[in-house]
Amino acid sequence: MNAAPIVTDHSPRRVVIVGGGITGLAAAYALQEQSRKANIPTRFTLLESSDRFGGKILTEHVGGFTIEGGPDCYIRQKPWATELCQSLGLGGELIGTNDERRKTFVVQKQRLTPLPDGVMLIVPTRITPFITSSLISWPGKLRMGLDFFIPRREEKDDESVGAFVRRRLGGEALDKIAEPLLSGIHVSDPESQSLLATFPRFRALEEQHGSLIRGMLAQKRSNHNHSGNTAPSSSNGTPASMFISLRSGLGELVAVLQEALTEGDLYTGVKVSSLERTQNGFRVGSTTGETWEADAVILAVPAYISADLVSHLDAELSSMLSAIRYVSTATISLAYTRNSVKHPLNGFGYVTPRSEQRQVSACTWSSIKFDSRAPQDGLLLRCFVGGPGREELVSLENPELVNVARRELAEMMGINAQPLFARVYRWNKANPLYDVGHLERVEQIRNRVANHPGVFLCGSAYDGVGIPDCIHQGQQAAEQALKSLSLELA
Ligand SMILES: Cc1cc2nc3c(=O)[nH]c(=O)nc-3n(C[C@H](O)[C@H](O)[C@H](O)COP(=O)(O)OP(=O)(O)OC[C@H]3O[C@@H](n4cnc5c(N)ncnc54)[C@H](O)[C@@H]3O)c2cc1C
């Protein structure tokens, strides 16, 4: 906020934030910091239904291992997470991936085949490694090369990621590269996943360069010219790798944020079940009958929870929110002694195309990808299950899920050793699906919610699922809430 309004009423404005994941925490922190600067006395109440803050961010420390139950890193390119870490004094704790070990494998006929060097996201940018790779057949490679000649699409409307990749690079590239790699970022089915909401950059490259490969090559050249591409860390000391984490895990961000929230009331174990408009604002109620009065309410919960909460305010808004679909996933982390595993572990892990019909969709070699995830003689691996069409696995009992992961590691990596321990993290209805038309859907939701001044929606359902996007959305919701409060006061 730029100009500080002149405040005559000194009673603090009350903001209730529902949901204590990273979005709600970031909203609370932004509210605290910005209200101070803008001289608007504000007190927030953060209500979280579970017994801890952080939502999908969950780090556990067991026997010298640092285990991430949910996200294990975030993309550096989007600045909001790094900026928040820095403002909380965590700048020195940021770590990058071990890029000298950076390699991704793709399961092909039950074997791990390296993704050719130079593939950026899904686009080959180096000829020799691509030509000599056994991942894609010769007809598949030639089809990918047609990208140089296929005219750009004239229509500007949305399409599925599957349709786009098939159109530009062909079916084999979709099956063996795009689907497994991209669904690791957005747990999604490429045939229904919105291109414009999840990978708008691909459409932009096509529009600007008439070819995805030509566009990616131009971008690579320009990045190289600007950065020299050799710096181990950027000018402000932030690791230069594409993905960033914190030395003791992302849970550190949650813990430090929580500690920094000194100007509000934080509750866990409070499940919000109602939201009503009152004469002076809103009343937020919990399942146990407690209520909170508020001048503004920030809903930082999954869209289907917000749908229930707004149902008495606006049935149409509620049904728009319910239209955002979610899927369930689970991660299974296994800890080993390093010398019990013979595999060379020469990369960050592997992804599995759907066509391979395996239960595990990806495996990250966590303690290779990042330092400080395992003791010196330890090894930490984590398997992913679930997602569209494979959700039934998530409801297996923990021992069965551990068996699924162990069978996978035995078949794919020859690991038959007994793990030191295993941890299962289940994420029910956790991943929002950005279906084709998502941008329009969100715009309609935003237009509709504007009819309810004082109510703000944010979180992974709307404008990006990654941690930086969630933080940014929480900050924007806080800013909008403060703006509405300052208008009330003016
Ligand atoms: C397995 C997995 C791996 C991921 N990996 C990555 C990654 O590597 N990098 C990345 O950037 N992103 C990753 N993501 C995505 C990212 O973690 C999430 O999008 C992000 O953390 C969501 O934050 P949020 O605060 O919007 O939602 P949440 O974390 O879901 O927080 C919402 C909170 O609201 C609470 N709540 C729900 N209902 C109520 C209620 N009625 N009353 C009060 N509180 C309520 C919930 O308990 C929860 O704590 C991953 C997600 C998963 C599931």
459 lines ligand 1 (CB under 6 A): yes
Among 56, 188, 427, say which to mutate for ligand 1: greatest number of ligand atoms within 8 Å of CB. 56
Taking the C-alpha atoms of residue 382 and residue 390, their distance in angstroms, rounded to an integer, is: 17
Please determine, for residue 431, whether its predicted confidence score (pLDDT) is greater than 80: yes
Taking the C-alpha atoms of residue 172 and residue 184, their distance in angstroms, rounded to an integer, is: 18
- Is residue 109 very low, low, confident or very high in pLDDT (cuts 50, 70, 90)? very high
68 lines ligand 1 (CB under 6 A): no
72 lines ligand 1 (CB under 6 A): yes
Last-in-domain residue among 227, 244, 268: 227
86 lines ligand 1 (CB under 6 A): no
Residue 275 belongs to a domain:
yes
Task: Report the pLDDT averaged over residues 474-480.
Answer: 97
Segment 295-326, tens digit of pLDDT: 999 999 999 999 999 999 999 999 999 999 99
467 lines ligand 1 (CB under 6 A): yes
Segment 179-192, tens digit of pLDDT: 998 877 888 899 99
Distance 195 CA to ligand 1 centre (A): 22
CATH code, domain carrying 269: 3.50.50.60
Distance 57 CA to ligand 1 centre (A): 7
**Do residues 125 and 211 both lie within one domain?**
yes
Please determine, for residue 213, whether its predicted confidence score (pLDDT) is greater than 60: yes
305 lines ligand 1 (CB under 6 A): yes
Please tell me the least confidently modeled range out of 32-36, 229-233, 350-354, 373-377: 229-233
Distance 68 CA to ligand 1 centre (A): 13
Residue 105 belongs to a domain:
no
328 lines ligand 1 (CB under 6 A): no
Residue 482 sits at the vertex; the CA angle it makes with 473 and 37, to the nearest 5 degrees, is: 100
CB 120 within 8 A of CB 110: no
Please determine, for residue 228, whether its predicted confidence score (pLDDT) is greater than 50: no
Domain range for 415 is 326-432
Number of domains present in the structure of the chain: 3
Backbone angles phi, psi at 238, to 5 degrees: -70, 135
Q: What is the pLDDT of residue 233?
A: 57
Q: Which atom of ligand 1 is nearest to the CA of 72?
A: 8
Residue 63 belongs to a domain:
no
Q: What is the pLDDT of residue 400?
A: 98
281 lines ligand 1 (CB under 6 A): no
Please determine, for residue 445, whether its predicted confidence score (pLDDT) is greater than 60: yes
- Is residue 1 very low, low, confident or very high in pLDDT (cuts 50, 70, 90)? very low
Beta-bridged to residue 383, according to DSSP, are 332, 363
**Do residues 345 and 260 both lie within one domain?**
no
Residue 234 belongs to a domain:
no
36 lines ligand 1 (CB under 6 A): no
Q: What is the pLDDT of residue 127?
A: 85
**Do residues 347 and 390 both lie within one domain?**
yes
Q: What is the pLDDT of residue 232?
A: 46
C-alpha distances out from residue 450 to 153, 360, 447, 480, Å: 34, 42, 5, 11
Q: What is the pLDDT of residue 2?
A: 42
Q: What is the pLDDT of residue 4?
A: 43
Q: What is the pLDDT of residue 239?
A: 83
Please determine, for residue 277, whether its predicted confidence score (pLDDT) is greater than 80: yes
Segment 136-181, tens digit of pLDDT: 999 999 999 999 999 999 999 999 999 999 999 999 999 999 999 8
Q: Which atom of ligand 1 is nearest to the CA of 458?
A: 26
Mean pLDDT of the chain: 93
Angle between helices 212-227 and 200-209 (to 10 degrees): 100
Residue 107 belongs to a domain:
no
**Do residues 311 and 453 both lie within one domain?**
yes
Residue 217 belongs to a domain:
yes
Joined together, the tokens standing for residue 322 give 């319910």
Q: In what order do the strands lie in the sheet with 243-246?
A: 74-75, 243-246, 94-96
475 lines ligand 1 (CB under 6 A): no
329 lines ligand 1 (CB under 6 A): yes
CATH code, domain carrying 331: 3.90.660.20
Please determine, for residue 488, whether its predicted confidence score (pLDDT) is greater than 90: no
Q: Which atom of ligand 1 is nearest to the CA of 24?
A: 25
Q: Which atom of ligand 1 is nearest to the CA of 427?
A: 53
Q: What is the pLDDT of residue 223?
A: 74
Task: Report the pLDDT averaged over residues 22-26.
Answer: 98
Residue 306 belongs to a domain:
yes
70 lines ligand 1 (CB under 6 A): yes
Q: pTM score, two decimals? A: 0.94
Task: Report the pLDDT averaged over residues 213-230.
Answer: 74
Please determine, for residue 230, whether its predicted confidence score (pLDDT) is greater than 50: no
Q: List the residue whose alpha carbon is closest to atom 22 of ligand 1.
A: 460
**Do residues 398 and 458 both lie within one domain?**
no
Q: What is the pLDDT of residue 226?
A: 61
Q: What is the pLDDT of residue 297?
A: 98
Residue 474 sits at the vertex; the CA angle it makes with 482 and 382, to the nearest 5 degrees, is: 165
**Do residues 217 and 131 both lie within one domain?**
yes
**Do residues 462 and 408 both lie within one domain?**
no
**Do residues 316 and 288 both lie within one domain?**
yes
Task: Report the pLDDT averaged over residues 102-108.
Answer: 94
Last-in-domain residue among 192, 227, 262: 227
Residue 342 belongs to a domain:
yes
Angle between helices 22-38 and 251-260 (to 10 degrees): 30
Q: Which atom of ligand 1 is nearest to the CA of 432?
A: 19
Please determine, for residue 438, whether its predicted confidence score (pLDDT) is greater than 70: yes
Segment 123-142, tens digit of pLDDT: 888 888 888 999 999 999 99
- Is residue 489 very low, low, confident or very high in pLDDT (cuts 50, 70, 90)? low
**Do residues 354 and 482 both lie within one domain?**
no
Residue 444 sits at the vertex; the CA angle it makes with 438 and 446, to the nearest 5 degrees, is: 100
**Do residues 219 and 258 both lie within one domain?**
no
424 lines ligand 1 (CB under 6 A): no
Distance 430 CA to ligand 1 centre (A): 7
Backbone angles phi, psi at 55, to 5 degrees: 55, -120
CATH code, domain carrying 125: 1.10.3110.10
Q: List the residue whose alpha carbon is closest to atom 13 of ligand 1.
A: 71
35 lines ligand 1 (CB under 6 A): no
